[in-house]
C-alpha cells in the first residue's frame, strides 16, 4: 500500500480545523498540526470594478497569513479526501498536495491501525484530555514506554 503526506491549504485557522475535523470524522487522515504564518501568492485577479467585457486578468502578489494542515493518508483514500476537503473548504481553490513517502515500521503500524476497519466504525469521539509533558527519571523510562534504550 502506498502512503502519502498530505498538505491542505486554508485561509484561516478556524477553517483549517473544520476541514481537519471533517476528514478525521471519516478516518481519511491521521490528523496533525495546522501550521500557519505569513505567505505570498501569485493570484490571477479579476477586477470586479471594471465592466465584464473590459475585464482583464492580472497576476498580483497577495500577502496574507495562511494555514496548512499536515497529515498522512493511504492511496485508496485520496479521492474521497479531496471531495470532503473541497466540500468543507470555503476557498475558491482548496490546494491539496500528496507526497509519496517511505515509512518506518512504527509509522506504518500506526497508519494501518488508524485506517483499519474505517468503513464499519463510528466516527471518532474527542477525548476531554490534553497531552502533558513531564520529566521522568531515566531509570523509569523502560517501565513507562513500549520501547526504550
What is the CATH classification number for the domain harbouring 73?
Answer: 3.30.70.120
Question: Sheet containing 96-101: which strands, arranged edge to edge?
Answer: 34-46, 57-74, 3-10, 96-101
* Residue 19: Cβ within 10 Å count: 26
Count of domains in the chain?
1
pLDDT at 46: 61
**Is 149 within a domain?**
no
Supply the range of the domain harboring residue 8.
3-144
CA-nearest of 56, 59, 38 to 47 is: 56
Written as nine digits, the cell of 30 is 491521521
Place of cell 475558491: 92
DSSP at 122: P
pTM > 0.85: yes or no: no
User: 33-78: per-residue pLDDT in tens?
Assistant: 999 988 877 766 565 555 565 555 566 666 677 899 999 999 999 9
**Is 128 within a domain?**
yes
User: 12-23: per-residue pLDDT in tens?
Assistant: 999 999 999 999
Amino acid at each position: 500500500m502506498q502512503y502519502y503526506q498530505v498538505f491542505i491549504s486554508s485561509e484561516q485557522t478556524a477553517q483549517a480545523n473544520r476541514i481537519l475535523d471533517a476528514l478525521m470524522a471519516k478516518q481519511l487522515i491521521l490528523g496533525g498540526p495546522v501550521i500557519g504564518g505569513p505567505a505570498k501568492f501569485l493570484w490571477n485577479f479579476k477586477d470586479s470594478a471594471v465592466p465584464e467585457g473590459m475585464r482583464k486578468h492580472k497576476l498580483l502578489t497577495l500577502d496574507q497569513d495562511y494555514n496548512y494542515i499536515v497529515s498522512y493518508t493511504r492511496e485508496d483514500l485520496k479521492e474521497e479526501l479531496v471531495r470532503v476537503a473541497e466540500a468543507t473548504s470555503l476557498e475558491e481553490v482548496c490546494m491539496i498536495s500528496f507526497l509519496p513517502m517511505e515509512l518506518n515500521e512504527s509509522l506504518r503500524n500506526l497508519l494501518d491501525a488508524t485506517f483499519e476497519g474505517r468503513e464499519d466504525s463510528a466516527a471518532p469521539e474527542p477525548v476531554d484530555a490534553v497531552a502533558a509533558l513531564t520529566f521522568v527519571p531515566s531509570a523509569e523510562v523502560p517501565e513507562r514506554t513500549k520501547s526504550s534504550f
